[in-house]
Structure 1
């Protein structure tokens, strides 16, 4: 059945080949041209196009490999000066390259099935939810990117670690980091889990105590000597050999990846971490900063009504452009502040993981929370980064009902928040159908898997407030996608649909984040 699902989903992807393409299509065509024709020493200096190479070297090599096949479809696509080139063969090749490389994602999902064992949840529900993920369909096969191969590598890494094949898991995660550095946000979960389960040996041994134990302590037996009592203590030892093996894999891959660029590593890093791009990307990704920006706008209106002059600047982000932005009333946010916030909000999850590594599911939960922390408070967050939390969480959604409840809300809101990426009117039916079908199946199948009593007027697995919020996506959709253009009074505010979508979805993502954090800290032992 699994391979039947993959063929069916691949056919759906093939039907999307003629669909709208974003500027990311030209981005990757340009990277094909750069890696094919320009010397390695100039890959990260080339700037004929505004879409310069800004992914780690291993992804650049991935583009180089693709370019070897691209030349047989249309050699003109590999000319750096051919900006915005999009012949039929070029479109066909680039679309097919995403579909074919998705085999890595298929394999990652297949491994998830194997670690869950046989049964309806692993053989039917999980593959349908993961293979037909509407976020990947919209972002990769319409908008155009290569997220499928990278999420496939992530799933392979997670599954290898869950199978106790630690070195293989570390190998694939390091490969992933060298392909797309955004995954560094979930690296703390890997570091702590590998450290506590592979690099440290924790043993219990009896230790003598001379004083009487308090009532709170467990009773211990007399050791028969000196009248002393014994209790168990934990002895933690560093396994040097395991550390050496793990370090060799991580450092070895990193060195091999970056060694050809060591002479200009500063240039590579400046491309990978473009802090001058501004706090928010494109439109306001549905995170804490969307709510923060809304607060600044509201405060700006109040201040204006009070007649105060604060030398206010017109906001530029609301138009959907990538620009620097200065807040008018609230304090401006710097990259260092976002890094600090991300680190602070990750810490409780990391500490919890360190204390509960005996439960492998907590490793995945920590990955999800690290991804959500970076999404909520990171600098220049892309709206599609929400998939970094949704996809791993899907594994646990078929296992435990606590994870299911959060997954249902987060996936519905997260996928809905991607609608602005597919803005042409002729894509309205496609994106709506993808999300509705996926959400409907998720609610139906997961509720049958985890029967949960709910009120007559609520959605399965959700409480009344969560249900009202989820149903509220419908009027948001109707206004932002259909009605806004027909209202003359509001038609001048082009940014309004983006802002409403972002802020409304930010409320749902924030709620899911807090709820899952409480669940992880309080109920997962």
Structure 2
């Protein structure tokens, strides 16, 4: 195929992916959203609208402060400055269209068809500007060893991940902003542009503090590269990266740094330990153990904070140190999966929607682990099913799950030539069938009055067991991955499978490498 034909083919397929993904998102957005018609607090939709109201009408120093005009008990702003600036921008545009949408106090609980259309457009625009381009760039430029057709197909599968679409375009949030910034960061460091990668990751962290889930791999990978460099080059590299990080943080926080009390209040809002160990029935260790032992009732909050901190650190250390000593791109991406999953399973104050952060990490190793990755992404969506049921998003959940499974099957048939263990395939199929069956029963058969939370508890336990299995598997993937995934041969050999017979691996000849 000539270069012109390849370019034309690629551009046509990119446009098809772009419009298909937007169409799917728009179909989900016409459904209900979090807290629709449910006063007095409504839901996340109202939280995002209220932040637009507060940031547009009040001075910057008052955004995180409790006052008569800003009751922090009513969806007080609790995300970092970039989220607040984004809310201000949306509030500014909303005021130009209809001032009633962001009128101070009187706009609480505002609901209308035109306002819903506006709010849905704001999420779609973030997808168009950040998330879709980030995934496209990652799969077109940051991975090697795949044909252009395979990379485009991988892009379309990742962009059809049901969990993110249902939460952002159904439930209503802007996770696509922080996740898109993170993908840009991973793409740039994969291509050797560590300063740009550092900039984008700091921006992601300053949009949502949950991006701390990814901070340990970024820190260890970049520090490991500096240590591996020659003494002078490594030190100079470390100084440049540190300068970018400090400068970017400083610019994001500049309006709040003029007053120490204001800055401290922002930090208190970002890390509200008083909310408890977890919220609702999240699919992590503490929620599952709480069913058996009632952790919240029997252990003091301070002790729970220390327990979760110690457990998280212990489970993080092997991945972190291994990456620090072996700072290759492939290990970095697996460490993103492992560290974010450890945070989700063991850290303090976890939301069910936080599973989207490990899910994004898994999306970035989909090309190496298509079967395991797709299995994880389906279970992660299933783990949020109680929330989706509450938001009347059951039909989009089943439709997107079926669409995603269909796309994955086509990819595995057309492109995946690596043999996967029959046992793993059967286990994965039974697992997904189990999740679909539980979802169907939860929708069709009411919970018994004596056990009203039986379905959320069952779903959280079922999902948590899977996440522990995936953590062990991806830990093995990181520790056993010997090659950097930036070249064709290593990309093939980095794929893991459970072989029927032990095989001897031949070592690659030494050659020039570039992280």
CA contact (8 A) 1:126 1:395 kept: no
Q: Structure 1 residues 514, 454: closer, same or farther in 2, change over 3 A?
A: closer
Aligned residues: 452
Task: Give structure 1 stretches of 5+ with no counterpart.
Answer: 204-235, 298-324
**Partner residue of 2:174 out of 128, 136, 146:** 146
The equivalent of 1:248 in structure 2 is 243
Task: Give structure 2 stretches of 5+ with no counterpart.
Answer: 1-12, 35-42, 484-515
Q: Secondary structure of the equivalent of 2:365?
A: helix
Structure 2 Cα separation of the partners of residues 422 and 39 of structure 1: 35
Deviation readout 1:317-337 (Å, 9 max, x if unpaired)? xxxxxxxx7244999952222
| Structure 1 residue 11: Cα displacement | 2.1
The equivalent of 2:3 in structure 1 is none
| Structure 1 residue 425: Cα displacement | 8.3
The equivalent of 2:191 in structure 1 is 163
- Larger proportion of helix: 2
The equivalent of 2:275 in structure 1 is 277
| Structure 1 residue 43: Cα displacement | 0.5
The equivalent of 2:399 in structure 1 is 433
Structure 2 Cα separation of the partners of residues 413 and 187 of structure 1: 24
The answer to whether the aligner puts 1:30 opposite 2:54 as a matched pair is no
**Partner residue of 1:88 out of 113, 124, 133:** 113
The equivalent of 2:495 in structure 1 is none
| Structure 1 residue 393: Cα displacement | 2.0
| Structure 1 residue 508: Cα displacement | 0.9
The answer to whether the aligner puts 1:505 opposite 2:505 as a matched pair is no
The answer to whether the aligner puts 1:384 opposite 2:410 as a matched pair is no
Deviation readout 1:271-305 (Å, 9 max, x if unpaired)? 000111111112x21121232123326xxxxxxxx
The equivalent of 1:475 in structure 2 is 437
CA contact (8 A) 1:158 1:169 kept: yes
CA contact (8 A) 1:134 1:438 kept: yes
Structure 2 Cα separation of the partners of residues 123 and 433 of structure 1: 24
Structure 1 range deviating more: 365-374 or 83-92: 83-92
Where do 1:122-521 residues align within 5 Å? 122-197=150-225, 199-202=226-229, 239-262=234-257, 263=259, 264-282=262-280, 284-296=281-293, 326-328=296-298, 334-357=304-327, 359-398=328-367, 400=368, 403-424=369-390, 427-446=393-412, 448-453=414-419, 462-485=424-447, 490-521=448-479
The equivalent of 2:509 in structure 1 is none
The answer to whether the aligner puts 1:67 opposite 2:96 as a matched pair is no
Structure 1 range deviating more: 380-389 or 158-167: 380-389
| Structure 1 residue 75: Cα displacement | 0.9
Q: Structure 1 residues 449, 289: closer, same or farther in 2, change over 3 A?
A: farther
Structure 2 Cα separation of the partners of residues 276 and 331 of structure 1: 8
| Structure 1 residue 36: Cα displacement | 0.4
**Partner residue of 1:116 out of 143, 146, 158:** 143
The answer to whether the aligner puts 1:99 opposite 2:111 as a matched pair is no
Structure 1 Cα separation of the partners of residues 63 and 84 of structure 2: 8
Structure 2 Cα separation of the partners of residues 134 and 454 of structure 1: 24
Structure 2 Cα separation of the partners of residues 187 and 391 of structure 1: 14
Larger radius of gyration: 1
Q: Structure 1 residues 523, 255: closer, same or farther in 2, change over 3 A?
A: closer
CA contact (8 A) 2:213 2:357 kept: no
Structure 2 Cα separation of the partners of residues 447 and 54 of structure 1: 45
Deviation readout 1:172-202 (Å, 9 max, x if unpaired)? 01111111111112111111111122x3354
CA contact (8 A) 1:420 1:498 kept: yes
Q: Structure 1 residues 295, 260: closer, same or farther in 2, change over 3 A?
A: same
Q: Structure 1 residues 260, 446: closer, same or farther in 2, change over 3 A?
A: same
Deviation readout 1:240-281 (Å, 9 max, x if unpaired)? 322222122111111122232121211111100011111111
Q: Structure 1 residues 502, 345: closer, same or farther in 2, change over 3 A?
A: same
Please tell me the root mean square deviation across aligned C-alpha atoms, in Å.
2.4
CA contact (8 A) 1:6 1:131 kept: no
Q: Structure 1 residues 514, 495: closer, same or farther in 2, change over 3 A?
A: same
Structure 2 Cα separation of the partners of residues 125 and 176 of structure 1: 26
Q: Which has the higher contact order (CA 8 A, sep 6+)?
A: 2
